[in-house]
Amino acid sequence: MIRHAKSSWEFDVSDEKRPLNQRGLSDADLVGKELKTVIKSIDRVLSSPAERAYSTAKIVLSHLDIPESLFGLESRLYDFGGNQVIEVIKNCGDEINTLMIFGHNHAFTSIANLYGNENIENVPTAGVVVIQFDVKKWKNINVGKTLLKIYPKSLR
């Protein structure tokens, strides 16, 4: 899970259209560079259609060798509570071993705490949380192991 990078409030646009600010652009780039050193393979990438999440995804993915055909926008990831995000995850095809999603808080912090084995107070903007599940079917996920946390502040 990757939370969108820092967005700008300086424009008079709807929530879904808010762009990244300069720090957000920089942090997404830092996270992408860091992920390049740790990501082995990704089978599917989904992003919220909100501008700040989609822009974060484009920047991060520009550092990874992931074919564009594996990327998709998923409207249910524009969710702040987490139920729709969980629904998306649990309905993934079982041929997918590694899923990367871009979305929003408070959903991502809630899911990280519900499904990971570490307590995370807050997934920061452009923060990454990787959870591994020991199941064969996405619909059967329950508490997994929090494998990795990457926060931009520690990369600056």
The model's pLDDT over 12-35, given as tens digits with 9 standing for 90+, comes to 999 999 999 999 999 999 999 999
For 53-109, write each residue's pLDDT tens digit: 999 999 999 999 999 999 999 999 999 999 999 999 999 999 999 999 999 999 999
Q: Is the dihedral of CA 155, 40, 138, 73 positive or negative?
A: positive
Residue 18: CB partners within 8 Å, gap ≥ 6? 7, 8, 9, 11, 50, 51, 52
The structure's pTM equals: 0.97
